Amino acid sequence: MHFFTQLAVGCVFSALALPAAAQTFADPASYNNAIVNEQVDLLKKNLRYISKAAHSENDRKIENRRLEVVEQNKVAVANVQRMPAAYKGNTELRTSALNAFKTMLEVYSADYKQVNALAATRTESFEAMQRYFDAQEVAEKKLAVVDDSVNAAQKRFAKQFGMSIESSKESAKLAEYTRQVSAVNKYQHQVFLPYFRVQKASAKLTDALNSQDAAAFEAARVTLAAEAEKSAAELSAVPAFRGKDVAYRNAARDLANLYVVMCAKQFVQIAELLKNKDHLTKVDAQTINNNINAYNTQNQKFNEAYNKTSAAFMDTYVPVMND
């Protein structure tokens, strides 16, 4: 969702402070701005939802924020419906805005409800995480399409009545935040999915090692090697965010490369020794332990770096809206 702009002749008019059912509009700016005011209130709720989804793992709180957007959206639809259907013959602006608000209501009632439902099972597999991210992006695209239609209608409305278009400081700030969100989410998905693929493969290798199952460990090593190489290649192709920020991408790529190296060296040695686990010498056992300790140390180091840069990335580019 982007933003509807305000119209003005020399200055920005505010909507009339009258009950919605009794609204009259003396000029085109106040007619347009009544719609904009509804959008501002809705954007505030929307940003609270976006912020909670980006910075919290509490699914219940995220769902509550979604429901707040739905309720605010219902208010917006009702208020715009009570406006005069036209201003001096122009029905396009109100119709476009009403269609946009209704589409937003549908997206937040259905699409984002699905997103939140998918969140509950997103960590079960790479495919589940992919479905979760895809659902987010589909919802965002739907909102962008309807917003573009309203912006076009506003430009024609402004031209028809000889008005200029400008944004207040508050609306400009909200607009900037909302413009960032889709780009941030898309980039985060590009980085996180390869990272997540490696983590799922690594977990299987750890399970096999803990059970001392030589065949399962070797199978997991082969799978992890392939997944790590694929993820490292994908991450190397991800550009710097906004042309300069590479910390988040690099942290994920470094972790993938760690697995590439370990799968080609230390894990091969562990696999060979596990085949003869019932006949290991003290030297063999020490070799396995040394490799495991080295892996644990490096794995912790690179995962901590990833977690730190991931949090910093979201904190920097998605505003935190406190409860």
Instruction: Give the C-alpha separation, 141 to 43, whole Å.
Output: 16
The yes-or-no verdict on residue 321 having pLDDT over 80 is no
φ, ψ for residue 125, nearest 5 deg: -160, 165
Give the model's pLDDT for residue 322.
65
Helices and strands (H and E) in the chain: how many: 10, 2
The yes-or-no verdict on residue 75 having pLDDT over 80 is yes
The dihedral formed by the CA atoms of 245, 246, 251 and 254, expressed in degrees to the nearest 10: 180
Each residue's pLDDT tens digit, 257-301: 999 999 999 999 999 999 988 888 999 999 999 999 999 999 999
Give the model's pLDDT for residue 7.
52
Average pLDDT of the residues of the chain: 87
Each residue's pLDDT tens digit, 107-166: 999 999 999 899 889 999 999 999 999 998 898 888 877 777 888 898 999 999 998 877
The yes-or-no verdict on residue 178 having pLDDT over 90 is no
Give the model's pLDDT for residue 286.
93
Among 108, 95, 126, 92, which Cα is nearest to 224's?
Answer: 126
φ, ψ for residue 90, nearest 5 deg: -85, 105
- 237-263 mean pLDDT: 97
The yes-or-no verdict on residue 248 having pLDDT over 90 is yes
pTM of the predicted structure, to 2 decimals: 0.81
Residue 194 in contact with residue 226, Cβ under 8 Å?
A: no
Instruction: Give the C-alpha separation, 143 to 154, whole Å.
Output: 17
Give the model's pLDDT for residue 6.
55
Instruction: Give the C-alpha separation, 133 to 195, whole Å.
Output: 14
Residue 43 in contact with residue 60, Cβ under 8 Å?
A: no
Each residue's pLDDT tens digit, 21-52: 446 898 999 999 899 889 889 888 988 888 88
Give the model's pLDDT for residue 205.
95
Each residue's pLDDT tens digit, 86-122: 999 999 999 999 999 999 999 999 999 999 899 889 9
Instruction: Give the C-alpha separation, 83 to 25, whole Å.
Output: 9
Each residue's pLDDT tens digit, 295-305: 999 999 999 99
- 239-249 mean pLDDT: 96
The DSSP annotation for 8-71 comes to ESSSBPPPP-S-GGG---SSHHHHHHHHHHHHHHHHHHHHHHHHHHHH---HHHHHHHHHHHHH
